[in-house]
Structure 1
Amino acid sequence: MDSLFSQVELDQELLKLNAKKREAVKKQEVKKEDDRVFDKKLFIVDGYSLIYRSYFAFITKPLTDKNGNNVSSFFGFFNTIFMLLKEYKFDYFVIAFDANGPTFRHEMYPEYKANRDKTPDDLHSQIPIIMETLRKMNIPTISKVGFEADDLIATLAVNATRLGVDTVMVTADKDLLQLVNNHVKALRPPKKNQPKYELFGEEEVKEAYAVKPSQIIDYLALLGDSADNVPGVKGIGEKTATKLLEEYNSVDGIYRHLDSLSKGLRAKLEEGVDSVKLSKTLVELKSDVFTLDTFDSPEFMTSTIDFNAGIEDFYARNCNSLARTALSLSGGGKNILEEAAKKSEEKASVTAPQEYLGVGSYTLLTDIKVVRAYFESAKRSGGILAFDTETTSTEIKDATLVGFSFSYELKKAFYCPLISQGKEYLKLDDVLALFRDYFSTGYLKLIGQNIKYDIELLNKYKVSVSNILFDTMIASWLIDSNSGQYSLDELASRYLAYDTIHFDDVVKKGEDFSSVSVEDALSYSGEDSDLTFRLYKFFDGLLEEKGLKKVFEQYELPLIEVLISMEREGVALDRSFMAELDEKLSKRLEELKNTIYGFAGHEFNINSSIQLSKVLFEEKALEAVKKTQRGFSTDTATLEALKGKDPIIDSLLEYRGVAKLLSTYVDALPLLCDENGRIHTSYLQTGTATGRLSSRNPNLQNIPIRTDDGRLIRSAFVAKEGTRFLSADYSQIELVMLAHISGDVELSRAFNEGIDVHRFTASLIFSKSVDEISSSERRIAKTINFGIMYGMSPFRLSNELGISRADAKSFIERYFERYSGIKAFVDKTIKDCERDGYVKTMGGHIRAVPQINSRNKNEKSAAERVAVNTVIQGSAAELMKKAMIDIYSDIKNKGIRSKILLQVHDEIILEVYEDELEEVEKIVRSRMEGAAKLNVPLKAGIEVGKRWGDMH
């Protein structure tokens, strides 16, 4: 019988069979290779990726050195490197950088990365500084002309696997995920609200991108990459790319099955065949740039890193925490920090004189008679005492006094224990009697670091303090309001070149200060009082030198007592009202959820950004506004930009608002009540750079006031029996301040004649009489009035009002034509700030604006807004502080029982006994309207109600 196949066909089939066998053997060998267990590990950092990420992590509030230079990249880069060295175990380490000049990809495709934005000047200037510090510290780096860092990382990973070393790539770049396998992982930076870096293996890549690591090249070849100008296939998106690869495994597989695809998709792929080939070549990393025989060489070892060599650079860049971390990694002594601080020119300009530097001498006192003798000595020496308490908790209601320290001479301090490791030393009654004899009488004037806490603790023990002399935390904020770092540890490092003992160094996790030995407590607490006294001596002169003594003594220091009283009183919460509100809002949330499902056509997890993104941008085909690492953004700003495009958007925004009210206030506030049902917020004088007070635990200043639901939350706060809330609110205070400071004739006329200022503005820019102004025209004027002083652009105004850019530009031009005094004020403020580097409020608070002369246009514009905003808002904040101090003083001196409870932006809330209402209202009106003499009336609106929500 003749064979069905020719000999040629049989030979072909045999060849195919043998090829399959060889492939199977190869796969088996690869599998065996993958299954090997390695005992060594290499960490490779994607250098420029980390530099860029660090810069943009602080883009809204850049970190600067003392000369105003941006150091965000410098800080973020080394902070991450140190984190890796501290928290991860590895044998080899290297940072890969792109070399200068074109790569082989540019030769292949000149348009490669051609559309990238120019690197911001203030980022570019940090790169050589980072490189120099890396060189000084001998931290391993690698780069090679003609190749990108990604190619070097790929080559290192392949060499490592061959040599029996596992690899971890520290990178946010998805291109590198093509390398992930059994022996190569990616450590990726945390996303928003994630606490730490996440290790990506094959499963994590598949979960994040819906493709395997081996498919990443094909995935990117189809999609393209706008950042690198890789073309991809026009019209192919993420969803289509992942679906095609799931079905056909690779680009080659897809093109072999074009006949199986829809006509439209086939056309796109056929048209893009050359583009996808090019894209695949551009995306695929070279892994054979070099061959290594070993990693056991200085180029990859951490043992030769000289951490101390970078300390001077860290001080010079105002990155003091990095200096401390470097010291801890080196195991060196404090003298290294001190020497480095002295060598740093930038540091030397603010470091205290030599007499304030160095270590102190501390004495343990366990006899109350001896303590009293030292207090008497302090009284004779000038009556000034730096004082610090040690307690079992940072929460006053839970705090028990276990010891205290004090200092009244430079570099000398004393620690007085009450309880230590279960043993009693000084008796509480004896200590309290001592405090009353010296603090309540004013014989000793107290200095503290955040002294408000110490005084609140003493008040809890029925000890009053009659004379607060100084607070180093508040003084340091006045000296540098932009720092945001005012802890004693930070201040000691910055101004005294002193590395402190940290709380965690003496108190074990899960324990409190009563568990600390008296020897350790002496060192820790004695140091606190010693450093506080040194900083007082230095800051007192510095405030005088900078012209800040008046604002410190007139506004900030007297306010401490007012805030202590407010925090002690607290405000009552109607918990039954909250329970009803919980039920009401929860029902509304469920209704909104069902409405959203109706608009979507199916149920989904509304709180999942991935699922919501799919509904909005795939199913509903809405135009995506912003892209993130994991898809298109669905944040609130994005939803706001999509309003009017689909009815689901309004429901989503309302859903988020209700959900936030429930979680932030309705569920949380009742848990914060004390045994009397009152909530005690804490006020911060150092919480903002402008000078406005802020509150925390809980933040009562963020309760929304423009929504009905926000007003309902306020209605849960109720005056106690026999009292009413009195709300006093400065009317349009920032516009009043603008009129006064700018001296603008027209704006001042509106206030002096009692004309509605928004109608008046509208009448000027629309050339109509005040009576003819419509509500929409008033709305435009109001938006301009409140936005223009902070540099509102035509772009933003057009977005907020829903008008054309041309109309917005025209409105702003007409505004400045009619309010020429405001234009002159804004221009002068910016010009003076460019010259001086700072602005000053009406009361004398100085705020540096380091970016005012930045070459980065966006940074420069932001700095100009900060300059104008600080003058207006900061001056308004000072008026409020002055009013609070005077009202508190009048009430106290007249023996009135009513109390100030809350301060929220431009509003003061008092709890007033009904028989004192008339008198308190007179005091409040008089003090608020008389807080300063302006060239326009300063008006306070006063309302009375049983609940906070009943008013305005």
Structure 2
Amino acid sequence: MKKIYLIDVSSMFFRAFFAIRQLTSPKGMPVNAIYGFLSMVTKLMKEEKPEYMVFCYDRKEPSFRHDMYVEYKAHRSDMPEDLAVQIPYIKQLADILGIPAVEIPGYEADDIIGTLTKVGKKSGIEVVIVSGDKDFGQLIEDGVILYDTMKDHRYDSAGVFEKWGVRPDQFIDYLAIVGDTSDNIPGVKGIGEKGAIKLLEQFKHLEDIYENIDKVEGKSIKQKLIDAKEMAFLSKKLVTIATEIPMDHNIESYRLRPRKDEELRTYLREFNFKTFEKNLLGEAGSAPMTSAEAGKAYYAEAATPSAAPDALATPMLAEHQTKAFNEKTLSTKELAGMFAANQPLWGFSDTRGIFIGTDADIISVSDAEFLGKLTDTFKVNWKGYDLKDLWHKIGAKNPIADWDTMLAAYVLKASDTSDFSKVYEKHMGEPLPEMASPSQTYNAHLHLAKTLDKKLHEIHGEKVFRDLELPLVKVLLNMENLGVRIDTDLLHKLSDELEKEIEVLEKQIHEQAGENFNVGSPKQLGVILFEKLGLPAGKKTKTGYSTGEDVLEALEHPIAKLVLQWRELSKLKSTYVDALPAMVHAKDGRVHTSFNQALTTTGRLSSNSPNLQNIPIRTARGQLVRKAFIANPRMKLLSVDYSQIELRILAHISEDPNLCKAFAEDLDIHAATAAEIFNIPLKDVNAEHRRTAKAVNFGIAYGQGAFGLAETLGISRTEGKDIIDRYFTRFKNVREYIDNTIKLAHEKGYVETLFGRRRYIDELQSGNAMLKKFGERAAINAPIQGTASDLVKKAMIEVNKTVPVRMLLQVHDELIFEDFTENLEKLTPQLVSIMENVAQLRVPLKVNYSIGDNWDEAH
């Protein structure tokens, strides 16, 4: 999700001044605040990679608050002279780094931040307020966090409550009561933080306190409130951050602009900031290669035969040789004139915008949407890092993927490879320059791509990369662009129902506890459970007692069950029921999830905004969430789901005759397994037999032992061991598969899927017995789950290529489609045939399918 970073300059600059020892420039000027502030900003830009950032300034002249209260900030001392002389250089820094800066006469930086917070929320962008000022607690809500870079701590709504003891919506009332000595805000004299928290626990807001003044406990507190009523409400006005001040409300005005590198170098040298110069701009004083030097390097490289016949089409540079490129900005007309059909083209972006690279040029793109249409027309062969993200940014609808460095790194070792700088450092053995220039960035892309291409050949990973991952990028792009329709009316109704149920549960929990407390606070819950109620405490964390699901399930007290129910409904409400309507795109009324192709260790896809993999289906309430995923008018949804794909893969890999026979005869695999384990005829298998066999079947694929099976079934470990022993007696080849896989994993350090996808298992080298055991279980499961993932990806590519039906979603082993009923009925047989024949195994692949008005009906 895009983010906008709102920098409270005064707060961060002032803190940097006092946090860093005295530093002076060669001319003797104090520069410690500049140094500290620059450190914070460059670290933020490097690690967070924001697209939008704003420096928000206070003004010297009084703000509108002085008109309300002449004593506002009257006690503030003058700014230290050593700090004051550094301020103009901070404003200069904003211009050099391309960071938009805002100051508004009559208003404070807080009000600018408050208004931009609202602008960001309206634009669907996450807001990060960078400040150490607690006053911003009042702005925190879903999609807005407070980030204190000095303490490296982020506060969301729960964090605000944990830190200050009140909710964000009560924060103004809290400040109105306690006041603020630094700003000379009076508050209620004699009532401090603890008193304010207690009042706001009993009454929601300041107005409620005064409306119910007779109910306030304690004569002294009541009298203090009565005496300070006028000041309390004045204080509330003074501490309230304005969110609608007159300023530019166009979010695009706050996008980062290109950095002015030569001016930056001059700026850094003036203060003798050599480390910054090296990190941000390369070695101090070094010059890029001349065109002639670059040409020699290019032709020397081109004359060397490649070890890989199908290496990248774009000529690569010799290792770590830097090529000089012409950096330019072209008009749309000039851009159209430079393309040829099917030409290779690099694309990359950073906080300054989108760039395309050719053999000689780096071109800054001003009209991203035009670029997408233009490159689609010329059928450009795209190379880059995370092409799907780039294509979304330029609006490409029918692009061609020729190389994606992110996916190459992912195939080499499955993990989160979404951060280019981290992948570059890992494979190149050196960090990227901080806030690298376009030329430095492009050279880094070329060097890294060449290195990874070579490594792919070394591990024979080209097939997985070229046949599965690369073609899938366009399929996922199309799915994300299509999105899925959401029934917001149903979700709003469900939200109201859940809210009432949650309130009832919360009341019951408070009754069991004997007092009111924040059920969502693990710290407060731990105190209630293990100190007040005296229940047996489990493990203790740094922040208090552990109150995880496993701990609560083990407690024999009604409050534990109620808390688990409260958590389940609260999570369902916040994560899906309330969140989904906010994700609906205004233009088409659909939710557009984002599929993560390079994240999981098994090769499976994941998704976010929303996370489709965790949509609940077991409870009636959870199923209602699936009902909210609906088809367009006059259309239907089709769900096609692989049946027991992992067990079929296990049968194929192990070549176990009993497993293969059961699938070949299309038997109920769990009933068939039960018949083998308990040595009874298939017709005599009852529900309990089948439940046990199902637990064994799924547990075996995940390396589950006797202890795990016993926990799942609620039986003794001895019984669990006996069942597993009987299983392996009847399915001997499965035992051999497990033993051989673990042995080979220890020898090689990795396992492979049927398609050659590797999973390296570092835990096998651990001296920790538990970690090593985890690694062995992963080794058993990875070839099975990874092959299932590969089969689903292969099916998606084939279906997308041959069946003209709209593919919307992929969840585990299920694909969701949308089309007119007659089209679905006509095309489903072809679609099913492709999915069932996408690979030939020793046992048949089978899919189940259904058509309905919503996902729940079709599932």
Q: TM-score range by the shorter chain?
A: 0.5 to 0.7
* TM-superposition CA deviations, 1:227-272 (whole Å, max 9, x none): xxxxxxxxxxxxxxxxxxxxxxxxxxxxxxxxxxxxxxxxxxxxxx
Q: Which residue of 2 aligns with 1:404?
A: 355
* 1:666 aligned onto 2:571: no
Q: Please say if residues 513 and 559 of structure 2, whose CA atoms lie closer than 8 Å, have aligned partners that are also in contact.
A: yes
Q: Which residue of 1 aligns with 2:625?
A: 713
* TM-superposition CA deviations, 1:844-897 (whole Å, max 9, x none): 111111222333211110111111221000000011011111111113xxxx3x
SS at match of 1:803: coil
SS at match of 1:365: strand
Cα distance in structure 2, aligned partners of 1:616 and 1:497:
50
Q: Which residue of 2 aligns with 1:363?
A: 326
* 1:638 aligned onto 2:551: yes
In structure 1, what residue type is equivalent to 2:412? I
Q: CA deviation at 1:371?
A: 4.9
Q: Please say if residues 407 and 530 of structure 1, whose CA atoms lie closer than 8 Å, have aligned partners that are also in contact.
A: no
Matching of residues 207-286 of structure 1 within 5 Å: none
Judge which range, 789-798 or 546-555, deviates more.
789-798
RMSD (Å), alpha carbons: 3.7
Cα distance in structure 2, aligned partners of 1:721 and 1:404:
40
Q: CA deviation at 1:335?
A: 5.9
Q: CA deviation at 1:739?
A: 0.9
Matching of residues 583-598 of structure 1 within 5 Å: 583-598=496-511
Q: Aligned pair in 2 of structure 1 residues 726, 417: CA closer, same or farther (>3 Å)?
A: closer
1:605 to 480, 499, 518: 518
Q: Which residue of 2 aligns with 1:777?
A: 689
Q: CA deviation at 1:705?
A: 1.7
Q: Aligned pair in 2 of structure 1 residues 367, 674: CA closer, same or farther (>3 Å)?
A: closer
* 1:388 aligned onto 2:351: no
Q: Which residue of 2 aligns with 1:562?
A: 475
* 1:416 aligned onto 2:349: no
* 1:699 aligned onto 2:611: yes
Q: CA deviation at 1:470?
A: 0.9
Cα distance in structure 2, aligned partners of 1:562 and 1:40:
53
Q: Aligned pair in 2 of structure 1 residues 612, 476: CA closer, same or farther (>3 Å)?
A: same
* TM-superposition CA deviations, 1:320-364 (whole Å, max 9, x none): xxxxxx97699798569x9xxxxxxxxxxxxx9981314332313
* 1:860 aligned onto 2:772: yes
Cα distance in structure 2, aligned partners of 1:809 and 1:191:
47
* 1:543 aligned onto 2:480: no
Q: Which residue of 1 aligns with 2:678?
A: 766
Q: Please say if residues 417 and 598 of structure 2, whose CA atoms lie closer than 8 Å, have aligned partners that are also in contact.
A: no
Q: Which residue of 1 aligns with 2:635?
A: 723
Q: Which residue of 1 aligns with 2:487?
A: 574
In structure 2, what residue type is equivalent to 1:456? H
Question: Scaled by the length of structure 1, what TM-score is found?
Answer: 0.56
Q: Aligned pair in 2 of structure 1 residues 414, 706: CA closer, same or farther (>3 Å)?
A: same
Q: CA deviation at 1:630?
A: 4.3
Q: Please say if residues 728 and 941 of structure 1, whose CA atoms lie closer than 8 Å, have aligned partners that are also in contact.
A: yes
In structure 2, what residue type is equivalent to 1:404? F
SS at match of 1:944: strand
Cα distance in structure 2, aligned partners of 1:764 and 1:746:
9
Q: CA deviation at 1:494?
A: 2.7
* 1:441 aligned onto 2:378: yes
Q: CA deviation at 1:194?
A: 11
* TM-superposition CA deviations, 1:499-553 (whole Å, max 9, x none): 4355xx4xxxxxxxxxxxxxxxxx7334444433333333233222211111111
Q: CA deviation at 1:668?
A: 1.2
* 1:813 aligned onto 2:725: yes
Q: Which residue of 2 aligns with 1:493?
A: 425
Q: Which residue of 2 aligns with 1:936?
A: 843
* TM-superposition CA deviations, 1:112-161 (whole Å, max 9, x none): xxxxxxxxxxxxxxxxxxxxxxxxxxxxxxxxxxxxxxxxxxxxxxxxxx
Q: Please say if residues 681 and 695 of structure 1, whose CA atoms lie closer than 8 Å, have aligned partners that are also in contact.
A: yes
Q: Aligned pair in 2 of structure 1 residues 627, 498: CA closer, same or farther (>3 Å)?
A: closer
2:391 to 455, 467, 473: 455
Q: Aligned pair in 2 of structure 1 residues 879, 41: CA closer, same or farther (>3 Å)?
A: closer
SS at match of 1:356: coil
Q: Please say if residues 317 and 446 of structure 2, whose CA atoms lie closer than 8 Å, have aligned partners that are also in contact.
A: no
Q: Which residue of 1 aligns with 2:401?
A: 468
1:870 to 782, 786, 800: 782
Q: Please say if residues 573 and 717 of structure 1, whose CA atoms lie closer than 8 Å, have aligned partners that are also in contact.
A: yes
Q: CA deviation at 1:636?
A: 1.4
Q: CA deviation at 1:899?
A: 0.4
Q: CA deviation at 1:596?
A: 2.5
SS at match of 2:630: coil
Q: CA deviation at 1:829?
A: 0.8
Q: Please say if residues 585 and 591 of structure 2, whose CA atoms lie closer than 8 Å, have aligned partners that are also in contact.
A: yes
Q: Aligned pair in 2 of structure 1 residues 329, 613: CA closer, same or farther (>3 Å)?
A: farther
Q: Which residue of 2 aligns with 1:479?
A: 412
2:746 to 829, 834, 838: 834
* TM-superposition CA deviations, 1:603-623 (whole Å, max 9, x none): 433223343224333444432
SS at match of 1:597: helix
Cα distance in structure 2, aligned partners of 1:900 and 1:796:
38
Q: Aligned pair in 2 of structure 1 residues 616, 921: CA closer, same or farther (>3 Å)?
A: same
Q: Which residue of 1 aligns with 2:308?
A: none
Q: Please say if residues 414 and 599 of structure 2, whose CA atoms lie closer than 8 Å, have aligned partners that are also in contact.
A: no
Q: Aligned pair in 2 of structure 1 residues 620, 769: CA closer, same or farther (>3 Å)?
A: farther
Q: Please say if residues 665 and 713 of structure 1, whose CA atoms lie closer than 8 Å, have aligned partners that are also in contact.
A: yes
Q: Please say if residues 354 and 368 of structure 2, whose CA atoms lie closer than 8 Å, have aligned partners that are also in contact.
A: no
Q: Aligned pair in 2 of structure 1 residues 477, 193: CA closer, same or farther (>3 Å)?
A: farther
In structure 1, what residue type is equivalent to 2:377? S
Query: Aligned residues: percent identity?
Result: 35
Q: Aligned pair in 2 of structure 1 residues 697, 524: CA closer, same or farther (>3 Å)?
A: farther
Structure 2: stretches of 5+ with no match in the other structure: 1-16, 22-35, 41-149, 164-273, 287-311
Q: Please say if residues 849 and 858 of structure 2, whose CA atoms lie closer than 8 Å, have aligned partners that are also in contact.
A: no
Cα distance in structure 2, aligned partners of 1:331 and 1:454:
26
Cα distance in structure 2, aligned partners of 1:716 and 1:365:
49
Structure 1: stretches of 5+ with no match in the other structure: 1-38, 44-82, 88-186, 201-325, 339-351, 393-401, 419-426, 506-522
Matching of residues 713-752 of structure 1 within 5 Å: 713-752=625-664
Cα distance in structure 1, aligned partners of 2:336 and 2:694:
62
Q: Which residue of 1 aligns with 2:566?
A: 655
Q: CA deviation at 1:446?
A: 1.2
Q: Which residue of 2 aligns with 1:3?
A: none
SS at match of 1:478: helix
Q: Please say if residues 382 and 403 of structure 2, whose CA atoms lie closer than 8 Å, have aligned partners that are also in contact.
A: yes
Matching of residues 107-126 of structure 1 within 5 Å: none
In structure 2, what residue type is equivalent to 1:566? M
Q: CA deviation at 1:404?
A: 2.8
Q: Please say if residues 674 and 690 of structure 2, whose CA atoms lie closer than 8 Å, have aligned partners that are also in contact.
A: yes
Q: CA deviation at 1:777?
A: 2.4
Q: Please say if residues 486 and 591 of structure 2, whose CA atoms lie closer than 8 Å, have aligned partners that are also in contact.
A: yes
Number of residue pairs matched by the alignment: 581
Cα distance in structure 1, aligned partners of 2:644 and 2:755:
19
Q: Which residue of 2 aligns with 1:801?
A: 713
In structure 2, what residue type is equivalent to 1:712? L
In structure 2, what residue type is equivalent to 1:415? I
Q: Aligned pair in 2 of structure 1 residues 607, 436: CA closer, same or farther (>3 Å)?
A: closer
SS at match of 2:629: coil
